[in-house]
A and B are shown apart, each in its own frame.
Chain A
């Protein structure tokens, strides 16, 4: 059984935003609507400036006691037992946003508007991902479309589809290789890595490392 996860070396992140744009390209996330803000926008991965460091923030893919799963009245959020990826099914979502309230990482986003692209730009949409409608919640799913493609290729090549390797769009776009992705059983975790809000017992699958900011406390380490 594979457990996909990420390591993010905060010290290497330059805050270029390539991961955010690559994620939007890959997952057919529309450009910001008129008057969109950080609270009403759709950015499955968002880079925050914390002290003198940039911290990429995305769904932490909780492993145990996944808060968003338990509160969903529609069973629109499920943890895939084969991969550990927390999936969101927009067809089932009724837009109650309980999951957004429950998520301790604020990594879920609500579609306040119908998805809209400038005329002609619809031609550039990724055929592997369906655009979501207004009124549903969405979030990072570790580029599930890419996982499906990798699985299909593994089947076609006669390999074990339960253990496929693939690369999410944000990892591929990161010019400094600050983000790394893979099976947590084999993915090397830098010394001193921490998981955000680990004390909640949600067992997130994203490991952060930083010598600049204390990610456990969410603030800079004291000087001197």
Chain B
């Protein structure tokens, strides 16, 4: 039999048709789909032994207890945080904007050239820590100044009141310890005064849509006592005094007596003489507040050296002579000061979950080295002192190990506060009133973009929200202008913002020029 070309084609066609009846094509489809799922462009999660570690969150003074789920030693999930920032805090060491290297040797050389007569200061943006006491001891030894954003911090007892007036305070949005505020919230009547429709305003029992202290005061506040007013607005401290509100000095865990004897006093930035600082060291590595640069800059001498310990280039690194990379949570062991709603002493540690990059600098150790103070074991020294005062554990080692594992030591309640008067605001003729968004940490997990890029739950950091009437003539990008400077911003029209108000995002550029109640205008770029 002679095979023709037609036979070959018939055989090939028959084979192809017959192959459809075999598992081969289906296997190919399955394998190619599996391959496409696992092709090299898609990251593969690490495998390993699943472990669990406990610690406390150090992103803010709330210090929520955390349980970290780890693959080997690598944390892959955190539970226990009371906010969106804490849920993804284990991403912070890998943030693209993370500062990993800096001119450490040059900064040390500049500090080494300082003469004893040249004024030096430390600005501590998270006071109340053991590191803060190291700064104070070092400044005392160097005849320098220790500057705190709030020299007399206060604490509120939300559990002993029946009515709370929130004057622009983000009471239900990370103002205090989430679990504590939400537990107390069940028991008090909440009146919120503020122009912008914030979550606190939406969830309050009564919302007064006006900025500042309401006039007249809500009847509930006076008739349904005990009552309390919270917020930074002028008149709040005086109102609390009249109401006899439960306002206390912010409690601080016990400190060794030797430290107290050798510590520089806490100074407010306002008390620093103008152009009086030759060297300024700023610890913003775990900042819980932000002081606008326009308030710091007048205190610096013309040839001042500013050294900042930062986790990103976004904050004071933009203005500093040297920006040194600092560890970020959860890379080092540090203690967490008391929050605004905690009225008893607490001592708790944030234990490291991952090692820091090799080039980062611990601010307290560098400052302590300037004054020849041993600081590496300061935390342990304080823990031993606390254990000696109230031995809840059999040995200091057991107490320390418990702290590292997330144990929270609680001490005695604090004393009534000495409130300080609020500063009047400068007059202006700008048409809008600025209302900044609540404070956020300097570094946020990249997953926070879910909240402000892929939904409108939060205002993007570099944006301002305006009433559609105020935003009508503006393009999507414009310039925010206040008495303190200008900043290019994204404009978001939002009908929930009343006319005459500009709700400002939390980017460092905006925070530098804009505080609550400032006059502002938004103009074409």
Contacts and interface: CB of A to CB of B under 8 A. Distances in A.
B12 interface: no
Given A21-B451, A173-B81, A120 B173 contact: no
Contacts of B90: 124
A16 B455 contact: no
B454 A21 contact: no
Given A16-B173, A25-B87, A118 B95 contact: yes
A125 B447 CA distance: 12
B258 interface: no
A22 B81 CA distance: 10
B46 A41 contact: no
A176 B96 CA distance: 32
Contacts of A24: 88, 447, 450
A63 B451 CA distance: 30
B345 interface: no
A14 B203 contact: yes
B457 A41 contact: no
Interface in A96-131: 114-115, 117-131
Contact of A25 (B77, B199, B496): B77
Which interface class (under 10, 10 to 19, 20 to 34, 35 or more) fits A?
35 or more
A115 B88 contact: no
Interface stretch (A45-53, A78-86, A187-195, A196-204): A45-53
A90 B202 CA distance: 39
B294 interface: no
Interface string B36-47: 111101111111
A38 interface: yes
Interface string B193-204: 000010100110
Contacts of B173: 14, 16
A175 B199 CA distance: 14
B182 A36 contact: no
Interface of B: 30, 33-34, 36-39, 41-48, 50, 71, 74-79, 81-84, 87-88, 90-91, 93-96, 172-174, 178-179, 182, 197, 199, 202-203, 445-451, 453-458, 496
Contacts of A132: 37
Contacts of B496: 49
Interface string A44-62: 0011110011100000000
A53 B76 CA distance: 32
Contacts of A123: 46, 74, 94
A31 B447 contact: yes
Contact of B79 (A43, A124, A172): A172
A133 B203 contact: no
A92 interface: yes
A106 to B, nearest CB: 13
B457 A47 contact: yes
A90 B194 CA distance: 47
Scoring B75, B78, B202, B454 by chain A CB atoms within 10 A of each residue's CB, the highest score goes to B454
A8 interface: no
A176 B182 contact: yes
Given A20-B457, A32-B450, A125-B45, A173 B37 contact: no
For the complex of A and B, the 6 pairs showing the least CB-CB separation, nearest first, are A41-B454, A32-B449, A31-B446, A120-B94, A125-B45, A122-B43
Nearest to A34: B453
Given A17-B457, A127-B47, A133-B36, A173 B79 contact: yes
Contacts of A40: 454
B87 A21 contact: yes
B94 A125 contact: no
Contacts of A48: 455
A52 B446 CA distance: 28
A121 B457 contact: no
Given A21-B445, A37-B454, A126-B77, 20 more contacts: A14-B173, A15-B457, A17-B84, A17-B455, A17-B457, A18-B87, A25-B88, A29-B450, A38-B455, A49-B496, A54-B199, A54-B457, A117-B446, A122-B46, A127-B71, A128-B45, A131-B42, A169-B77, A173-B81, A175-B83
Contact of A114 (B42, B46, B84): B42
A164 interface: no
A42 interface: yes
A215 to B, nearest CB: 16
24 contacts: A14-B173, A17-B450, A17-B458, A18-B82, A20-B455, A22-B87, A24-B88, A24-B447, A28-B45, A31-B450, A36-B454, A40-B454, A41-B454, A41-B455, A43-B455, A48-B455, A91-B33, A120-B93, A122-B43, A126-B76, A127-B47, A133-B36, A173-B79, A176-B182
A26 B83 CA distance: 16
A172 B501 CA distance: 36
Most buried by A among B50, B81, B96, B451: B451
A121 B76 CA distance: 10
